[in-house]
Amino acid sequence: MDISKNSNIAKVHCALDIGFFYKWLSFTTPLHRLTKAERQVLASFLAKRHELSQIIRDENMLDNVLNSIDIRKEIRDEVGLTVPQFNILVSKLRRSGVMDGKKINKHYIPNIQKDTGQYRLTIIFDINDKYKVEKAVLEQGDTGDGEASVNKTESPSADSGNGLL
């Protein structure tokens, strides 16, 4: 497939820190529908997991360390949540299949290769009439961000939070 045809490319400048992982989750929101708070917590987990993966190569050990009391407290403090708030959000991540016990579902972990200087997210839209969306769905104003829909009479703003270009 020739990527230069029938495609758009956007470049996003960022450091490989929590900001990258939050952007990753924001761009993929239509696929997982996590709320902003859930994305913040998961982005912290992913950033810490990436940091630890540079030292710990064993996946089971990595998951155990990531879910240790000290690391969980560090993540909770980083996102500014109380213990109950944090525990509720982690429970929601587990119920939605993002986390399974101590493990983060591999679908939510970007496959970042060391020292490449960039990460590419490719989304392929399989265009086919069998996927037509009902007009009623479009009228609901679904932003795909897991948050409440915007009233269709409101004009979109730069901070509408839908993460679309």
The structural domains of the chain, with segments of one domain joined by +, span 15-165
pLDDT digits (tens, 9 = 90+) for 33-45: 999 999 999 999 9
Give the angle 12-14-20 at the CA atoms, nearest 5°: 95
| Confidence (pTM) | 0.74
DSSP string, 71-123: HHHHHHHHHT--HHHHHHHHHHHHHTTSEETTEEPGGGS--PPTT-S------
pLDDT value of residue 90: 96
The structure tokens 């104003």 sit at: 141
Backbone phi and psi for residue 100, each to the nearest 5 degrees, phi listed first: -125, 100
pLDDT confidence bin for 159, thresholds 50/70/90: very low
pLDDT value of residue 2: 66
pLDDT confidence bin for 144, thresholds 50/70/90: low
pLDDT digits (tens, 9 = 90+) for 62-98: 999 999 999 999 999 999 999 999 999 999 999 999 9
